[in-house]
Amino acid sequence: MKKKERHEKILDILKVDGSIKVKDIIDEMNVSDMTARRDLDTLADEGLLIRTHGGAQFLDSTSTKEEGHEKTHIEKKVLQTNEKKQIAQRANDIIKDGETVFIGPGTTLEHLAVELKNRNIRVITNSLPVFLILHPSTTIDLILIGGECREITGAFVGSIAINNLESLTFSKAFVSANAVYNNSIATYSDLEGEVQRVALNNAVEKILLVDSTKFESYDFYNFYQLERMNLIVTDKNVTTDIIEKYEKFSKIVIADK
């Protein structure tokens, strides 16, 4: 793997996971310890990451911000990472070449963006992190929906974002959520929820990606009904009781790769 490709892959991992270890680079990219450390030092000198003992951390201004009790982007990145990757891999299998898909904000959806990098599809997103992951791709027809940016998540929201989305149609819309309880899908921000509502309404197929910890949880703003979703993709840690309860509202697919 060439140096430029290694650097891009390191940054992709950081955008999704928030941190990386030298050992991870050695194992994933089949390079020496010295090469791995040199790559991190180079990217740190370019202001693209923060070097830590034995690795690096994603350079993200949202990590120092607080907004009520909402978790920061960095805090969310380190939660259920393996489960989110499995969900993203399963969601990638659902998408067909040539489709136009909407991808909303959220760390699970950032994992999906990584899976999609070499696909021949059109992606519309209001998530800056998703956009940055897909932007280097030469096969993706990529559209970023503008609007007011919520710094804590990097999502574009508000009337401008909604107006831009209202005239678009998607074969599939992928959204995530902070909480799923009974027939309600909830998030922290009503602004983010309203944008996702419009995108879902304009999609032929509506797909929810949530890890198993989100079920039986609450959050501030209920933005959609679960029974209107075509599919829920979650991880293998979901219990039988949860499956039995929630499959009454929508079809559930378990990601177990």
Residue 208 is predicted with a pLDDT of: 98
- Checking if the pLDDT of 59 tops 80, the result is no
* Residues in a beta bridge with 125: 103, 144
- pLDDT, tens digit, 9 for 90 and up, residues 167-219: 999 999 999 999 999 999 999 899 999 999 999 999 999 999 999 999 998 88
- Checking if the pLDDT of 69 tops 80, the result is no
Across the chain, the runs of DSSP E, i.e. the strands, are: 19-21, 49-52, 55-58, 100-103, 122-125, 141-144, 148-150, 155-157, 170-175, 179-181, 184-187, 203-209, 221-225, 231-235, 252-255
Of residues 11 and 177, more confidently modeled: 177
**Percentage of residues in the chain having pLDDT higher than 70:** 91
Residue 152 is predicted with a pLDDT of: 84
- Checking if the pLDDT of 16 tops 90, the result is no
Residue 71 is predicted with a pLDDT of: 52
> Measured between alpha carbons, how far is 94 from 86 in angstroms, rounded to an integer?
13
Residue 12 phi, psi (nearest 5): -60, -45
What is the crossing angle of helices 190-201 and 159-166, to 10°?
10
Residue 73 pLDDT class (50, 70, 90 cuts):
very low
Task: Please count the other Cβ atoms lying within 10 Å of the Cβ belonging to residue 227.
Answer: 9
Question: 110, 130 in Cβ contact below 8 A?
Answer: yes
Copy the structure tokens of residue 118. 């070499």
Mean per-residue pLDDT for 28-39?
A: 93
> Measured between alpha carbons, how far is 257 from 254 in angstroms, rounded to an integer?
9
Of residues 120 and 8, more confidently modeled: 120
Q: Which residue has 């959806």 as its token pair?
A: 109
Residue 65 is predicted with a pLDDT of: 36
Mean per-residue pLDDT for 13-29?
A: 86
Residue 52 pLDDT class (50, 70, 90 cuts):
confident
* Residues in a beta bridge with 142: 123
Question: 68, 188 in Cβ contact below 8 A?
Answer: yes
Of residues 176 and 78, more confidently modeled: 176
> Measured between alpha carbons, how far is 199 from 168 in angstroms, rounded to an integer?
8
- Checking if the pLDDT of 57 tops 70, the result is yes
Residue 36 is predicted with a pLDDT of: 93
Taking all residues of the chain, what is their mean pLDDT, rounded to a whole number? Answer: 89
> Measured between alpha carbons, how far is 254 from 42 in angstroms, rounded to an integer?
40
Q: Which residue has 């959204």 as its token pair?
A: 175
User: Under 8 Å CB-to-CB from 244, ≥6 apart: which residues?
Assistant: none
- Checking if the pLDDT of 64 tops 50, the result is no
Question: 246, 209 in Cβ contact below 8 A?
Answer: no
Entry pTM? 0.72
